[in-house]
Chains A and B, each alone.
Chain A
Amino acid sequence: MEKQPLEQLTKISSQVRRDILRMVHAVQSGHPGASLGCTEFFVALYFNQMKHDNKFNMDGANEDLFFLSNGHISPVWYAVLARSGYFSPEEMTTFRKLDSRLQGHPATEEGLPGIRIASGSLGQGLSVATGAAQAKKIDGDDRTVYVLMGDGEQQEGQVWEAAMYAAHHKVDNLIATIDFNRQQIDGPTKEVMDLKDLKAKWEAFGWEVIETKQGNDMAAVLEGLEKAKALTGKGKPVLNLLHTEMGFGVDFMVGTHKWHGIAPSDEQLANALGQLEETLGDY
């Protein structure tokens, strides 16, 4: 894929947000909140940062790989995969419907191009990405493996098993990002289960940690990913603490956990789409 410039990335993000909302609205289910919050990150990865082939080979040899650990934000991933040519944007009409390849949570069972492992049950993606990164090392493949986790997901013990392992085994071709939106289903993470100082925790586990303080600003997201990339290959795995706002881009959805797993009504959809320019043509 060709690297897209900043202006184009911003345009793609607007379309991806429309896609997310339209998919979730059509089936009246799915997870729009964190999908909207992570849009800049996904667009930056797939349209600028990663070397990847939309013809899709499962083994991804000599490509950068991406794994989504918090699988419930599938709408943003599907939209970005479709818009980067892995499958037709038309297929987004099947999201969460019977006989679809676009399952509620990402899966390989139906053979959707771009998906390499099922996710949804939290805590597993970092382990998978670490294994994939080590396999690349065995093969002398110098590309990078990316993984995204939720911040609530940091409450899963397996995340810390993998964190300990990746540092011990010097898996330095791995960039893990945490969607740090400070919200989870039952409320703010601070109230549900306080994450305390995540940066200090990951550093204590032996990772290089960078913070992207403006995770919904495309220039800042790109800068963070460039910085993370520059830290690879130096003996330590890299963590990118990505500060985002759930629901970003739609004024009545932003900054609250309420839209974690709720679909907009017809009226709310019309209102939301009015705030987002149609840049690539709706599917």
Chain B
Amino acid sequence: MDKTLDLKFTYTEKKDTRSGFGDGLLEAGRKNPNVVGLCADLIGSLKMGAFQKEFPERFFQVGIAEANMIGLAAGMTINGKIPFTGTFANFSTGRVYDQIRQSVAYSDKNVKICASHAGLTLGEDGATHQILEDVGMMKMLPHMTVINPCDYNQTKAATMAIAEYEGPVYLRFGRPSWPIFTPADQKFEIGKAWKMIEGKDVTIFATGHLVWEAVVAEAMLREEGISAEVINIHTIKPLDEEAILESVKKTGCAVSAEEHQLNGGLGDSIAQTLIRNNPAPLEYVGVNDSFGESGTPTELMEKYGLNAENIVKAAKAAIARK
């Protein structure tokens, strides 16, 4: 469908966001000798092989022992190392929540928890691995920064940016091949929302893979004479409240879009902001209190209501409530 639309952002290549992480980690490692990598038996899946090859003395295979990996990383920060831990999002969060809470967040350690295969787009492996609660868990932790970039280029830029930032970070990315529609030379500013498309009738706040769906939705809405603003919320915490309020002040209503449970997700954070400042209509696109299942990423995004068509519906519903 998107080929026939007049898209404001286009792509010539698709790539997985986890490759953006792997390539960003290699660059960060070249720039800063304190960057170290740890992985729990998923070097290939996390794309950490290039870093391991170039910096074997700064790379640690942990085996299938994620709790230990978080503790090791916290310990390594003490004399100034910048550890990047790598495993699936499920095992990066829920499995090790208490370790992150005590040894990383409460202790305010400079650990970068890098989590791949987040959300439904993991696909065929099914619900055991398709975590949809990770953003909620991580954003509740004091001191924690939560970032969910949208494509290969943004993930690479984010990975390099968090190496320069002092403090615990949760970096979430995914498995599927996805359009590369943001520039390779972008500067990634933690906590700064990116207004990608100007509009006046409704604002779409999207994060992660759903930013692409929001770009497609904007073109679909435009064909129907609706002007949508698209804002890329790559940093869910700290949330760029100023950008959110400024946009909604203009458009008067909003849609949140994320590959996550509605409970505890980006939409919840935006709702809190709006309720306290400008209680405008907000519609949610996300998973509604359910686990996922096996299927292709495209099938799953359609079945669970996470694609451009659903964003369009939500936008119209939000406008109708103005």
Q: Give the B-binding residues of A (Cβ under 8 A).
A: 58-61, 65, 67, 107-109, 116-121, 123-136, 138-139, 141, 157-158, 161-162, 164-165, 168-169
Contacts and interface: CB of A to CB of B under 8 A. Distances in A.
Given A133-B75, A157-B67, 15 more contacts: A109-B107, A117-B103, A119-B102, A121-B102, A124-B71, A124-B103, A125-B71, A127-B69, A127-B99, A128-B71, A128-B103, A132-B76, A139-B79, A164-B63, A164-B65
Given A119-B102, A131-B71, A165-B68, A136 B63 contact: no
B72 A128 contact: yes
Interface string B53-76: 000011010110101111111111
A138 B75 contact: no
Contact of A58 (B74, B78, B83, B101): B78
Given A158-B67, A161-B67, A136 B106 contact: no
B72 A131 contact: yes
Contacts of B36: 135, 138
Contacts of B75: 67, 117, 127-135
A132 B63 contact: no
A180 to B, nearest CB: 22
Given A117-B109, A127-B71, A164-B65, A65 B78 contact: yes
A131 B69 CA distance: 9
A65 B79 CA distance: 11
A125 B99 CA distance: 10
Contacts of B99: 124, 127, 158
Given A127-B67, A158-B67, A164-B65, A117 B107 contact: yes
A59 B78 contact: yes
Nearest to A116: B78
Given A117-B103, A128-B72, A136 B67 contact: no
Contact of A59 (B79, B101, B102, B108): B79
B81 interface: yes
A127 to B, nearest CB: 2
Given A59-B78, A138-B36, A141-B79, A107 B71 contact: no
B167 to A, nearest CB: 13
Nearest to B109: A117
Nearest to A117: B107
B76 A131 contact: yes
Interface range, B side = 20 to 34
Nearest to B75: A131
A60 B72 contact: no
Given A124-B71, A128-B72, A158-B99, A135 B78 contact: yes
Given A158-B71, A165-B68, A124 B102 contact: yes
B218 to A, nearest CB: 44
A158 B60 CA distance: 17
Contacts of B81: 135, 138
B98 interface: yes
B183 interface: no
B279 interface: no
Q: Which of B60, B62, B79, B109 has the most CB of A within 10 A?
A: B79
B7 to A, nearest CB: 46
A138 B77 CA distance: 12
B76 A135 contact: yes
Nearest to A169: B60
Nearest to B101: A121
A130 B102 CA distance: 16
B102 to A, nearest CB: 5
Nearest to B73: A131
Contact of B103 (A118, A133, A168): A118
Nearest to B74: A128
Nearest to A109: B106
A123 B99 CA distance: 9
A125 B107 CA distance: 13
A125 B81 CA distance: 18
Nearest to B69: A127
A169 B98 CA distance: 25
22 contacts: A61-B79, A65-B78, A108-B106, A108-B108, A117-B109, A120-B102, A125-B71, A127-B68, A127-B69, A127-B103, A128-B71, A128-B74, A131-B73, A131-B74, A131-B75, A132-B76, A134-B60, A134-B72, A134-B76, A138-B36, A158-B71, A165-B65
